[in-house]
Structure 1
Amino acid sequence: MTTFPDHVAERDRWARSARGPLALMNAQRVDLEQPVWPVPGRWAPAPGGLTVTAAVADGVVVDGVPVDGTVLVASDQAVVPSTVAFSDGLAGTVADGTLRVWDPASEAVTRFDHIARFAEQDHWVTSGRFEPVGDGLEARADVVDAAGVPLLVAGIVATTVADVAVRLVAVRSAAFRGAPRLQLIVQDATSALPEDDPSSTYSMGRFLYLDDPGAAGEVVLDWNRAVLPPCAFSYQFGCPIPPEENRVPVAITAGERHPVDASGAVLH
């Protein structure tokens, strides 16, 4: 695991990166041939991604070749995803039938200074016990992602938060640097505070990632590493709703709070 200062630096770099959440200008689902703001071309669904129809003068470049006609833009799930560039410095990516348009020089990227955080505190590193769901994963109607699609529940993490016993729903997360992880989507008492309160955090909640033990066993919960969801940085992202079990009735004064500019004003 990286040191806490390295974790902080990585998160700030991610936020302002060319494919970070502050650079996302539009995320538009393409179910039929249509334009997509603010880029040129006509976009349409296709097996393996989307097609774009444009003339050379439109300045659309796919995989290094200017588009003059109709070409396939392979999705991020393809063996070799396409790269898309536009003449004004914007870029595009395709995933799950959605065209995402990125501006590495967006106003939000320019304004961003850092992610406001609570100071690291040893007492917010706690332990819990992971209890898997049966022999596999379970879909629950009340545990969904930002698009309303059910997430696969891996199990329950039984732990204590500020002397309150809780049983938190854990979902399967994508592997990180080759290691399997669990994800907790959590709200706590700091989420309800006004943004200018020094103990406030993003209203929709935060994420905490845990090493997946692969079976019933002890897990470490380092709340200092609670992170903001992408929707805390841009309205182009939807927010997943924490399940009822993960709405903790105490203040977790650890982890990330808000993205802010140089004056400390909340960006979003």
Structure 2
Amino acid sequence: MTELDDAAAARERWVRSPRGPLALVNAQRVDQPQVVWPVPGQWAPATGGLTVTAGAEDGVVVDGVPVDGTVLVAGDDAVVASVVAFPDGRAGTVAATGGGHTLRVWDPAADAITRFARIDRFPASDGFVTTGRFVPVSDHAAPGHVLDAAGEPLVVAGTVTTSIGGQTAELVAVRSAPYRGTQRLQLIVQDGTSALPESDPGSAYSMGRFLFLDDPGVAAEVELDWNRLVLPPCAFSYQYACPIPPPSNRMSAPIAAGERHPLDIDGAVFH
């Protein structure tokens, strides 16, 4: 098994996992006291996260302590984020979004996990490994940002210039979360394969895909292995907002590499 095979297997384990995208059954912004489907409790906005009001009979547990009254659930912008457990194995986390907070509900027995079969991929090819030049944002210029579909800013780290399919592109790179202790860059791209599967059987996910690179931290040559293009979480669940590729990252050249679509047990594309 190659290293790419290992990475592909790890991706499929992740999408099926209890915190993978298939398990996200609701992502509800809480900006006033309200209930949140499909979990118990009354939820309300609070400084640092949300509060939940529940009785002992509701079976809500926050950070290992059963709730009987009103408790703060710290968001992921706190020093230590809270984890919520609900009956039937569901769990909750609180995400900071747009100046407020969203309750995310995860269900390890979600229907989507049962329906999911595999991630369809293009065959790997050395022809889709290119080199590029990373140039960081100038220390004297504002870094700027790219907005995702929910309006959340993604901080621009710099640009990567590369040639692929006879096209030269200067791609905007945003900062990504570290991976195994290594700082990373993220390219959010569309290409000539980005189309609805009904209109093009050789397509990849229409909203675009992600390519992650190690961040050299300075201007440097980088390798772009397009076989490592991956689907965004929104390809698996409508509960996610898809980051929108910047105009410069929308390429006409087809990149027939990497992940294409998630497929269900009948061989159909999820959505």
Question: TM-score, normalised to structure 1's length?
Answer: 0.94
State the shift of 1:120 in Å. Answer: 1.1
Secondary structure at the counterpart of residue 152 of structure 1: strand
State the shift of 1:5 in Å. Answer: 1.1
Q: State the Cα deviation string for residues 106-157 of structure 1 (Å, max 9, x = none).
A: 11001111111111111111100011221166114xx212321332211111
Q: 2:138 maps to which residue?
A: 134
Q: 1:25 maps to which residue?
A: 25
Q: 1:217 maps to which residue?
A: 220
How many angstroms apart in 1 are the aligned matches of 2:162 and 2:224? 9
Q: State the Cα deviation string for residues 197-253 of structure 1 (Å, max 9, x = none).
A: 442111100000111111111011000000000111111001111111000001100
**Letter paired with 1:211:** D
State the shift of 1:82 in Å. Answer: 2.1
Establish whether residue 63 from structure 1 lines up as the match of residue 63 from structure 2: yes
**Letter paired with 2:114:** T
Secondary structure at the counterpart of residue 88 of structure 2: coil
Choose which of 165, 189, 194 in structure 2 pairs with 1:191. 194
Q: How many residue pairs were aligned? A: 265
The percentage of aligned residue pairs carrying the same residue is: 68
Deviates more, 1:50-59 or 1:190-199: 190-199
**Letter paired with 1:40:** P
Contact 1:137 1:152 in 2 (8 A): no
Establish whether residue 151 from structure 1 lines up as the match of residue 148 from structure 2: no
Secondary structure at the counterpart of residue 236 of structure 1: coil
Establish whether residue 124 from structure 1 lines up as the match of residue 128 from structure 2: yes
Establish whether residue 101 from structure 1 lines up as the match of residue 102 from structure 2: no
Contact 1:137 1:154 in 2 (8 A): no
Secondary structure at the counterpart of residue 190 of structure 1: coil
**Letter paired with 2:115:** R
Q: 1:53 maps to which residue?
A: 53
Establish whether residue 254 from structure 1 lines up as the match of residue 268 from structure 2: no
State the shift of 1:104 in Å. Answer: 0.6
State the shift of 1:266 in Å. Answer: 0.9
Question: TM-score, normalised to structure 2's length?
Answer: 0.93
How many angstroms apart in 2 are the aligned matches of 1:242 and 1:211? 19
**Letter paired with 2:29:** R
How many angstroms apart in 1 are the aligned matches of 2:165 and 2:268? 29
Q: 1:75 maps to which residue?
A: 75
Secondary structure at the counterpart of residue 192 of structure 1: coil
Contact 2:166 2:253 in 1 (8 A): no
Q: 2:248 maps to which residue?
A: 245
Contact 1:130 1:155 in 2 (8 A): yes
State the shift of 1:58 in Å. Answer: 1.6
State the shift of 1:61 in Å. Answer: 1.6
